[in-house]
A and B are shown apart, each in its own frame.
Chain A
Amino acid sequence: MVRIRQFEERCVELYSGGEVRGFVHLCIGEEAVSAGVLGALGPEDAVVTTYREHGHALARGIPAESVFAEMLGRVTGCSRGRGGSMHLFDVSRRFYGGHGIVAGGLPVAAGLALADRMRGQEHVTCCLFGDGALAEGEFHETANLAALWDLPLLLACENNLYAMGTALNREHAQTDLAARAASYGLVAWGVDGMDVLAVERAVARAARAIRDGAGPVFLELRTYRFRAHSMYDPDRYRDKAEVERWKERDPIQVLSTRMRAEDGLDDKAIAEVEKEVSEELDTALDHARQGGTEPVEDLLRFVYSPAEGSS
C-alpha cells in the first residue's frame, strides 16, 4: 500500500511536470482494494480491470519501472508505450488490462472465466470495476451470463461513491449494490474497502468458494478516492469535509494503527518502509526515463498479428 501510495504521488509530480500526459486516474485512498484483492489471488488467476489500475498492476507484481515506463510512453513499458496509464497489460501475469470504457472489461472477463470453465481449470477470473459500471448494460449482461453459466468469475466492485463526478445516489436508483447483484443469483456481499485485511479475507473466501464450484461472486468493496477522478478533474462536485472525513479512514493508517497495537509496529519501522519504497521508486523511475522509445516506423506494428515465420 505504501508502494502504491508513493507511486501515485510520483505520478502527480510527473503529470504536473508535463512528463506524463493523457488521462491519469489515481487510486490514492483505495490502496486497500488493490493490495487486498490482488494479494488474495493466485498467479494462475486472471485479472481484468479498469483505467484506474496503477495500484492493481503494482499489486499484481508488474514492476514499477515497467508501469512508469508505460506512462512515459517508452517501449520498455508494459504495453510498449501504446497503452499509457489507462491500458496497462501483462499477459505473463495474466493481467488483461487496463480498460478505458466503463464496464467494457466485464464481458471479456466473463469470456476468460468461460474458457477456464470449459477446460475444467480451477482458476478464478477477477474483474475489477467501479460503481459507475453498474449503470451500464454490460454489467447486467455479464452478471446474467455469469450466473446463468455458473462462471468462475469474481466481480469486484470498487465502490468509491462517484462515477466521475456523479455521486452514487445520483447515478443509481438502487444504491445497495450487493443487493442488486444478488438479484441475478450471484452470491454477493459488502466489504469495508478501507481495511486491507477485510478485503483480503473476503476475496480469499470468495475465490475459495468459486474454486469449490459455488459459482460467481460479487463483492462490493466500499472505498473512497482521496483525489479527483483524474488529474484533469477540478473536483467541484464534492464537499471537502466529506473528503476529510474519509481521510480519517486512510487504509494505510487503519493498518498501521492496528499493527502498532497488535504487532508492536513503531514509527521507526514505518519510516524504514517508506524510505525503502522511496528508494526503490527513485531507481525505477530513473530506469524508466532511460527507456527507449518505439521507432515511428513501427507505428503499424501490432494492428494485426505478425504472419507466421516473420518476426
Chain B
Amino acid sequence: MTGVGARQAGSMSYREAMREAMREALAADDRVFLMGEDVGRYGGAFGVSLGLVEEFGPERVRDTPLSESGFVGAGIGAAIAGLRPIVEVMTVNFSLLALDQILNNAATLLHMSGGQVAVPLVIRMTTGAGRQLAAQHSHSLEAFYAHIPGIRVLAPATVADARWMLAPALADPDPVIVFEHGSLYNGTDSTADEPGPVDLGSAVVRRPGADLSLITYGGSLGKALTAAEQLAAQDEVDAEVVDLRSLRPLDDATVIGSVRRTHRAVIVDEGWRTGGLSAEVAARITEQAFYDLDAPVERVCGAEVPVPYAAQLEQAALPQVPDIVAAALRAVG
C-alpha cells in the first residue's frame, strides 16, 4: 500500500494530488470506498482515480450505472450504516439529477430525525467552464449547494488543498461536497507534498495586499492572482487575494478582516451574478463592514447566459483577468 509515504518530491498535479488523497484514505480506513460513473476501469472521467481499482479492487473502487440519484442515495445509505463513501459525480450539471437525494436526504436527515441519522458522506464533482464543453457540462452551480444548510461545501483551488482537504472532509460527521474546477486538474505545484493543516471552515489570504481585496474561489483563483500581479506591475495597486476555500460555511472573519484592512472589495465568481455566491459575499460585506468601505463592492461574474460552445463566446462569458483588473481600478479610482 502506498500512503502518506508515497508523496512525491517535486511537482504534483492537482489531479495527482486528489488521487493521492483518495489512495491515502482508501489505504488508511477500510470503511472508505469510492463510487461513481467510470471511476474504476476507465480511471475516472477526468483521470483522477486512474489505477485505484487495480490497487483496491472493484468493491472499493466501484463503477456505477448512469444513475446519479441512485448512487448518490446509495452513498447516503452506506454512510448512515457506518461506511465512509466518496461519491464522484462527473459534473455539477449531472448532480442536479441527484439534488433530491443531496438536499432532501443528505442535508436533512440529521435534523429531521432529531439528531439520530448522521450522514458522513463526501461527494466530489467537477464544475466550471473553459474547455468548450457547452452549456450542459460547464456551469458553476456551487451557489445552489452553498444555499443548503446541513452540508459543507468546499472548493479546493490549489494543488495543496486538493491533496489535503479530503482527509478532514472524510472525518467530518456530516455531508461534504467538494467542487473541483475542471481547468485545475493539469495545474502543478511543488508545495503540495508539504502537509499543511487544513481547517475546512477557513478562507485563506493567498496574496497579501493593502489597497483592495480580490475575493474569489476555485477556478478563478489563478485569474485573480494574475490580475493582482498585473495591478502591482502596471498600476501600483497592491491587491490582496482571498481564497474563500469553503463556500459553506463562509469564513466571514477572514473576508471582513481583509476588507477592513483594504477598504475595497472585488468579488470574482464564475457563477452567475443573480442570486449567486458573489451576491452573498457582497451582502455580508455590506452588513458587516459598510463603514469601512471606500468604494462600492465590485463583482466580476459569469455572464448571465448558458455557457456557449464557441471559444470566443465562452471566453466572453467567463470572468477574465482584464475584467478583474478593470473592476479593481474602478474600485480604487
Contacts and interface: CB of A to CB of B under 8 A. Distances in A.
Interface in A264-311: 301-305
Contact of B110 (A98, A114, A119, A305): A305
Contacts of A301: 115
Interface in A213-239: none
Contact of B74 (A83, A107, A116): A107
Contacts of B111: 82, 302-303
Interface string B50-78: 00000000010000110101111111111
A89 B150 contact: no
A81 B59 contact: no
Interface stretch (A24-32, A136-144, A168-176, A190-198): A136-144
Contacts of A110: 70, 73-74, 77
B115 A111 contact: no
B326 interface: no
A106 interface: yes
Interface in B102-119: 104-105, 109-118
Given A107-B70, A302-B111, A89 B117 contact: yes
A118 B69 contact: no
A101 interface: yes
Interface stretch (B11-19, B79-87, B162-170): B79-87
Contacts, number: 143
B101 interface: yes
A304 B110 contact: yes
A132 interface: no
A300 B75 CA distance: 25
A118 to B, nearest CB: 6
Given A89-B116, A97-B109, A111 B78 contact: yes
Contacts of A305: 110, 118, 173-174
Interface of B: 33, 59, 64-65, 67, 69-83, 85, 100-101, 104-105, 109-118, 149-150, 152, 173-174
Contact of B81 (A78, A99, A106, A115): A115
B113 A89 contact: yes
Question: Chain A's interface: helix, strand, loop or mixed, by majority?
Answer: mixed
B81 A107 contact: no
A148 interface: yes
Interface in A95-144: 96-101, 104, 106-116, 118-119, 125, 137-138, 141-142, 144
B115 A116 contact: no
Interface in A143-170: 144-145, 148
B114 A104 contact: no
A96 B105 CA distance: 11
A138 B74 contact: no
A51 to B, nearest CB: 12
A112 B70 contact: no
Given A79-B112, A87-B112, A145-B67, A111 B76 contact: yes
19 contacts: A77-B114, A91-B113, A96-B80, A97-B113, A97-B117, A98-B112, A104-B101, A107-B69, A107-B70, A111-B77, A111-B78, A112-B77, A115-B78, A115-B81, A118-B83, A137-B69, A145-B71, A303-B111, A304-B152
A148 B59 CA distance: 13
Nearest to B120: A305
Given A107-B70, A112-B77, A303-B150, A82 B59 contact: no
A81 B73 contact: no
A292 to B, nearest CB: 13
A77 B112 CA distance: 12
Contacts of A113: 77
A90 interface: yes
A107 B76 contact: yes
A72 to B, nearest CB: 14
- With most chain B CB atoms within 10 A of its CB, the pick from A82, A97, A104, A304 is A304
A79 B69 CA distance: 25
A189 to B, nearest CB: 24
Contact of A112 (B81, B101, B150): B81
Given A107-B69, A115-B77, A304 B104 contact: no
Given A107-B70, A302-B115, A304-B174, A144 B65 contact: yes
A110 B78 CA distance: 8
Contact of B117 (A96, A114, A141): A96
A99 B101 CA distance: 11
A145 B78 contact: no
A138 B70 contact: yes
A187 interface: no
Interchain residue pairs A-B with the least CB separation, the first 8: A111-B77, A107-B73, A80-B114, A141-B70, A115-B81, A89-B113, A111-B74, A305-B173
